[in-house]
Amino acid sequence: MKNFRFLFIPIILTISACGWFKKPPEIGKVLSEHFKNKIYKDFDTVAYDSVFVKTMSEVSENFINPKTIKSFYVSNKDEPKLVTKFYTNGNLDSLVNFLQNSTVHGINPKIFKTEEIKSLLQELGANKFKTVDESYPVIAKLEILSANAYLNYTNFLKFGVVNPRNIFSRYYIKVKRPDSAGMINLLGSESMIDTLRAVQPRSEQYKALQQAYLNASAEDEKRILLLNMERFRWKMPEMGENFVQVNIPDFKLTWFDKTDTVITMKVCVGGKREAGYEDKMKAFAKSGNLDDKPKNHETPLLFSKINSIQANPIWNIPVSIAQSEIYWMARKDPYYLSNSNIQVYYKDKLIGEPDTINWNKYSRDKLPFKFKQGSGGGNALGKFKFIFDNSSSIYLHDTNNKNGFNLTNRAISHGCVRIEKPLEFAEKLVGDGNTYDKLRAEVDLPPIDSTHIKWYKKRMAAKADTTKSFQLKPAWFGPKKAVPLIITYITAWSQNDRIEYRPDIYGMDEKLWTAMKKFR
């Protein structure tokens, strides 16, 4: 009897190897129970995998993140994870609803293949497959298109439709973008509906623009609102509740403390680049002639922190300005440099008499000189310079030309930002009465605190003493705390329960509109 019993062991092993006792995969169990349909108990993972691979190859050609999606399924043995987890609980139906409603964000549902996903859901839900093999193409395509739509929808709302750093040459703000690890985590999430709800933009500015977009009828207005909704979707650096914003189209600086405005003032920003700039740059690249080089003084968009204040600043004149302006002025007027308090350096050595330089000997594209304008009333930077780290040598500063603040279009600088109320801005930055009085004294203003009058008078006496040589030099002051600064570009926003609109002075709306064309 024992010997007879052992004869069954190889037989059982053989039957097991043939798959007789093989359990259906999870998708088979889920669909079999949901539809009360036994065909899904015959779900063959090998046969399905073949269909899945072929379908992925056919439909993923135009995906935004095909490698990430393929990587997810490779690591999960091509299992239909989304259909398994989210079909029977209605999450895939909810996905379709969110996709159809993407119009409220100015996005076209067609880009997600919404109708095709909806049709596949209906085909699967009809439960009319005669054999399980007939379901494989439907499940595979539903799985892949849903994964792609799910990722794209969440990425668009959480990070924006486009990456501004790929569009604008002077966009230096490091916006956060979706990464493969985050997307794979999304595909592996346990609740699709929770994710879809969580990514809805919640800022008050976005909601106000969205409401105005849904109420607007004029196409031009809807376009501007849509573009600025996109800007508010971009994942900006963390600025905290206390920060300074310069909005270029508004020509305004605003210091925010939570929702309150600490101070606001007019600014002058960089002038718009020349018309036909791209074509002219191509011509310049070929000729190398500075006469062919078009002007571009647009202020870059950036994020940094204001870390120091310089009273009575020295202006290190950029090479581009020296070539395009200083050179010609010096040739025209031999006393221009000394009258403008501009020092000239040759190999880092000061030239004592710059008015004697024979400018006819030098071509402006190979000037061997450096130029610096000394501290004082005629300095182009005025009495204050506000410094923050950036790669474009940009800063906020005072100006000796106050008339610019009376202009409607204040895009008139060489790129830096001139501010209307530098003294008030400096006071807010230092945040300390003693330091502020010292700063005032550097620019010949009496102290606020009467106990500081004595040393203020002493300084003024030294300056007025004609028997001694008093040289005005830059003085440095540190803010109480480094203050975040963002120079941005917004042409529509909510203020006092109404939408404010500003002209697209740099043509950035046009570029963004073109980039978003395929998503509208």
Catalytic residue positions? Answer: 397, 416
- For every residue of 193-254, which 3-state class applies, written as one string? HHHHHHCCCCCHHHHHHHHHHHHCCCHHHHHHHHHHHHHHHCECCCCCCEEEEEEHHHCEEE
Contacts 24+ apart (CB under 8 A), 252-257: 253/396, 253/417, 253/419, 253/420, 253/425, 255/425, 255/428, 255/483
Nearest to 502 by CA among 165, 210, 252: 252
CA 175 – CA 520 distance, rounded (Å): 22
Quote the tokens at residue 265: 């003032």
Rg of the chain taking only CA atoms, in angstroms = 33
Nearest to 175 by CA among 162, 194, 187: 162
Quote the tokens at residue 109: 């549902």
CA distances from 282 to 154, 288, 291, 520 (A): 39, 10, 13, 32
CA 434 – CA 437 distance, rounded (Å): 5
By DSSP bridging, strand 252-257 and strand 242-247 are antiparallel
Length of the chain equals 520
Conformation bin of residue 251: beta by default, left when phi > 0, alpha when psi is -120 to 50: left
Within 10 A of 400 (CB to CB), how many other CB atoms are there?
Answer: 13
Conformation bin of residue 283: beta by default, left when phi > 0, alpha when psi is -120 to 50: alpha
What is the identity of the amino acid at 360?
N
Question: At which residue do the structure tokens 């300074």 appear?
Answer: 244
Q: 204-215 and 219-233 are packed helices; what angle lies between their axes, rounded to 10 degrees? A: 160
Q: Is 321 helix (H, G, I), strand (E, B) or coil?
A: helix
